[in-house]
Amino acid sequence: MPALLSPADSSRADHHKVVIVGAGAAGIATASSLIARDPSLDIALIDPADVHYYQPGWTMVGAGVFKAPSTAHTMAGTLPRGVRWIKARVDGFDPQGQLVMLDDGRAVSYEQLVVCPGLKLDWNAIEGLSETLGRNGVTSNYRYDLAPYTWQLVQNLKHGRALFTQPPMPIKCAGAPQKALYLSCDHWLRNGHLGNVRASFFNAGAVLFGVADYVPALMSYIDKYAVDLNYQHRLTAVDGPNKRATFIRTLPDGSTETRIEAFDMLHVVPPQVAPDFIRQSPLADAAGWVDVDPHTLRHRQFGNIHALGDVANTTNAKTAAAARKQAPVVANNVLVALGRLATLAQYDGYGSCPLTVERGKIVLAEFTYGGKLAPSFPRWLLDGRKPTRLAWLLKAQILPPLYWKAMLKGREWLARPQPLMVEAQQ
């Protein structure tokens, strides 16, 4: 079990060779990858949470496939041995002084800093949403406590309107808004209710999915479930008691109009931004994300700082699969910066999104920077552009233990870092 540092234990918390901010998938995987390479390394991990969640499982919870508790482990039991756990919130950074400031007044100094606190779900950006979440038919698979409510609503809805929303990019797991749609429609179809339940998808973007190769398969399910598909619609307000959702639609000429839709069930995905202490820090770019080189994941201005996961300003999909590939790269490059390894590693932008189009079948989207397809398996075995049962088996039975027992333990199956190529440096 990791050593837990209390506020009073400031002497031990004062300085560490490597400090990692954030104990989500990216932070724990990076810590474990560092320890796997150098067990003697002095690492502190800062995070206030008591629980670590397997967030990719929440879509399955919302469809009645997983039980919510299976996606939650104690933080103390998840962090790798040998890591000092500083259970506190970060308040800011002083990169010149090589300090991380905590909200209890302490400061932690470092030689190398890894920043991966995830992103912020901005529920308050949608008027009236926070007051009605978990009630009045309003839910979201983006919260642990609400995913079971999604399944409850899906089971109980026999007729009426079900609305599913997707906010402007970037968001984590860009396919998740669709996953909720498809799995809900599949349940209604199997139980003979789809004709009476009318499903609509309101996407703030202009395309169904950002990588065109996967769109034909997804559109076939949009047609199969007779989904009312709407682009350029951004959810701005929710009136839960009266069951009304307000959207701003962007027209081709750039003007906008307001559209109000009635609902019986509303699945909301909130806008997503970098955490406040990141956006207000010297580490952020103009949009608020940590500014890193897309290949080395090293900060563009501060050479002893790396960032990965959802908070980085890289253009890859913000998924756990991306963090799984990024963590060994950061671990390698931190050790290069410390003089303990010689060769930099590179991240190619890999991201994966298992699009659950029905119970038992998945379109497995895998791609690198620029939307280049990057399948992990030969096409004869698993063609990710088509819905397959093998991809479902991967999502439902293989990926959860792979997450807990491999990725978070520093076992880099299909994630070994590759040496930095000359063209990636340019």
Catalytic residue at 185? Answer: no
Query: One of 60, 353, 364, 407 is an active-site residue; which one?
Result: 353
For the chain, how are helix, strand and coil distributed in percent, rounded to 5? 30, 30, 40
Length of the chain (residues):
426
| Rg of the Cα atoms in the chain | 22
CA dihedral for 212, 218, 219, 222, sign (positive or negative): negative
User: Using a CB cutoff of 8 Å and minimum separation of 24, what contacts does 124-127 make?
Assistant: 125/270, 125/271, 126/235, 126/236, 126/237, 126/238, 126/268, 126/270, 126/271, 127/236, 127/237, 127/238, 127/246
Nearest C-alpha neighbor of 354 from the set 208, 174, 213, 184:
174
User: CA neighbours within 13 Å on the CB side: how many for 389?
Assistant: 1
Interior angle at CA 354, CA 350 and CA 355, nearest 5: 125
Strand partners, 21: 46, 115
Distance CA 213, CA 118 (A): 28
Catalytic residue at 173? Answer: yes
Report yes or no: 118 and 310 within 8 Å, Cβ to Cβ.
yes
The one-character DSSP state at 395 is I
Query: One of 31, 68, 108, 173 is an active-site residue; which one?
Result: 173
Reported as type and span, the H/E element at residue 75 is: helix 75-78
Nearest C-alpha neighbor of 136 from the set 25, 319, 265, 49:
265
> Active-site residue numbers?
173, 353
